[in-house]
Amino acid sequence: AQKITQTQPGMFVQEKEAVTLDCTYDTSDPSYGLFWYKQPSSGEMIFLIYQGSYDQQNATEGRYSLNFQKARKSANLVISASQLGDSAMYFCAMREDETGANNLFFGTGTRLTVIP
Amino acid sequence: ETGVTQTPRHLVMGMTNKKSLKCEQHLGHNAMYWYKQSAKKPLELMFVYNFKEQTENNSVPSRFSPECPNSSHLFLHLHTLQPEDSALYLCASSQGGYKRGYGYTFGSGTRLTVV
């Protein structure tokens, strides 16, 4: 079974608007970490934000916030005030702290296009 | 620059060639990884090295051979590849072991085309 599911292959958003990228995960580990990465056309994976499974509050990093709903096993990324430079692939990933501390499981990604 | 450098950025090779991909990090990280990224598929972990020791080989065919001479350098030696091996190969590094909150730092990848 897929550990990380991203159901949106592509998303469009108007510049300066907010957008939500969906991510659901599957694990039986009580302790895990959730990550979002951005991959521009240059290829490198850029770390955006992290949420630990025991964190009480949703993570925020500048214009990025993570809407963590543990019971629903979802970890959606919210980008506020979109900019043209936000156009890229976005990947959700999970690390299971007890069974696979060295392995990040990735989803298939969402291609975000910001429209001027 | 992320601190993880991969060379070459692009590589075209025939199925009978032998080539190597190189990854270098100067972040003081102790763990290094090779990932394969194919179109429309999740990133696939290939190899993991912790403190220069290989700790994971994710059922990768033997035509891919990793080498980690020290904590800062990682190589992927390629020989007799198949066209389906064409992909973006990403190197990453991290603090290693279990460090809560630590993600990976990735390089820009090597775009490999096997002809």
Helix, strand, or coil here: A48? strand
pLDDT in tens, A56-113: 899 999 999 999 999 999 999 999 999 999 999 999 999 887 765 567 889 999 999 9
pLDDT of amino acid B42: 82
pLDDT band for position B51 (cuts 50, 70, 90)? confident
Q: Which residue has the higher pLDDT, B104 or A111?
A: A111
Nearest to B42 among A45, A50, A108 (CB): A108
- How many angstroms separate the Cα of A74 from the Cα of each of A6, A67, A109, B12? 10, 8, 15, 40
| Of A40-44, A51-55, A89-93, B93-97, minimum mean pLDDT range | B93-97
Residue A104 and residue B102: Cα distance in Å, rounded?
11
The nearest alpha carbon in chain A to B87 belongs to A43
The nearest alpha carbon in chain B to A100 belongs to B98
A84 φ/ψ angles, rounded to the nearest 5 degrees: -60, -35
Residue B74 and residue B20: Cα distance in Å, rounded?
10
End-to-end CA distance of chain A: 38
Q: Do B100 and A4 touch (CB under 8 A)?
A: no
Please name every residue paired with B23 in a beta bridge, in sequence order, or none if there are none: B6, B74
pLDDT of amino acid B96: 60
Torsion of CA A24, A105, A60, A111, to 10 degrees: -70
Q: Do A102 and B31 touch (CB under 8 A)?
A: yes
Helix, strand, or coil here: B85? helix
Q: Do B98 and A101 touch (CB under 8 A)?
A: yes
Nearest to A33 among B40, B48, B100 (CB): B100
- Residue owning tokens 């075209």: B12
The gap from C-alpha A57 to its chain's centroid, in whole angstroms, comes to 16
